[in-house]
Amino acid sequence: MAKFVVTAVGDDRSGLVAALASAVADAGGNWLESRMGRLAGKFAGIVLVDALDASSLQAALGKLGADGVLEVALTSADAPEPTAAGGEPLRVFVLGNDRPGIVKEVSGALASLGVTIEQLDTLTRNAPMGDGLLFEADADVRLPSGVTPDAVRVAIEALAHDIVVDLDADEE
Q: Which of the listed ranges 7-11, 62-66, 81-85, 159-163 does the model predict with the highest average pLDDT?
A: 7-11
pTM: 0.81
Q: How far apart are CA 48 and CA 65, in angstroms?
A: 19
Q: Average pLDDT for residues 52-62, to the nearest whole number?
A: 93
The pLDDT of residue 87? 73
List pLDDT tens digits, range 26-50.
Answer: 999 999 999 999 999 999 999 999 9
Q: Average pLDDT for residues 113-118, to the nearest whole number?
A: 95
The pLDDT of residue 172? 53
Q: What is the DSSP string of 11-35?
A: E--TTHHHHHHHHHHHTT-EEEEEE
Q: Is the pLDDT of residue 166 over 70?
A: yes
